[in-house]
Chains A and B, each alone.
Chain A
Amino acid sequence: GENVEQHPSTLSVQEGDSAVIKCTYSDSASNYFPWYKQELGKRPQLIIDIRSNVGEKKDQRIAVTLNKTAKHFSLHITETQPEDSAVYFCAASITGNQFYFGTGTSLTVIP
């Protein structure tokens, strides 16, 4: 089955700096890669996603890049704010089936 690895497990940045979280996957059939933000005690919320026919997608301060050849994708958050502090999960899926999640990155934005 699919194996999704996520790094780093914890990340601290100063407010206004950028944060980058990286994930790798093993199954070349995976074609949908969402990112979720989970605040303590709350449900995961989709923040951005990318499909395998696209190399990059951006939504305001958040961007995701995908390298199909290397089987890795990354989340980029620019101009970080304290409210960005949360646990972020990447996932890989085959057309909405068989979602496999990474182990999570705890992001702390220091004011």
Chain B
Amino acid sequence: EAEVAQSPRYKITEKSQAVAFWCDPISGHATLYWYRQILGQGPELLVQFQDESVVDDSQLPKDRFSAERLKGVDSTLKIQPAELGDSAMYLCASSLFGQGYEQYFGPGTRLTVT
């Protein structure tokens, strides 16, 4: 069964450093989502792509966060500079937009900022 892939699975970084996460959605899934999940809370949408275009980035802290999906397939989420409050799980999800709304999540990247 196809799954969403993410790397790295764990990342420890010092504050003020740059960090990047990678996501490869299920093949053929046009819609890709990046979420941040703080321990004990529900996922919070950061950015949504439809193919290579950003559909929604209203919750993305644009002063330090950036996301791209240049060829409409895999995606990278970057934080620069990282802050202590960025420690969280970063989840990527994908869906077959237009043929159902079901999202499939990747395993996530656990970020710890020290």
Contacts and interface: CB of A to CB of B under 8 A. Distances in A.
- A and B form one complex: yes
Chain A's interface: helix, strand, loop or mixed, by majority? Answer: strand
A95 B43 contact: no
B31 A89 contact: no
Given A42-B107, A46-B104, A49-B102, A97 B56 contact: yes
Nearest to B104: A46
B45 A99 contact: yes
B40 interface: yes
Chain B's interface: helix, strand, loop or mixed, by majority? Answer: loop
Q: How large is the interface on B (under 10, 10 to 19, 20 to 34, 35 or more residues)?
A: 20 to 34
A22 to B, nearest CB: 15
A61 to B, nearest CB: 20
Contact of B105 (A6, A45, A49, A100): A45
Interface in A24-47: 32, 34, 36, 42-46
Given A44-B91, A89-B43, 4 more contacts: A32-B101, A36-B105, A43-B105, A95-B101
Interface of B: 31, 33, 40-45, 48, 55-56, 58, 91, 95, 97, 100-108
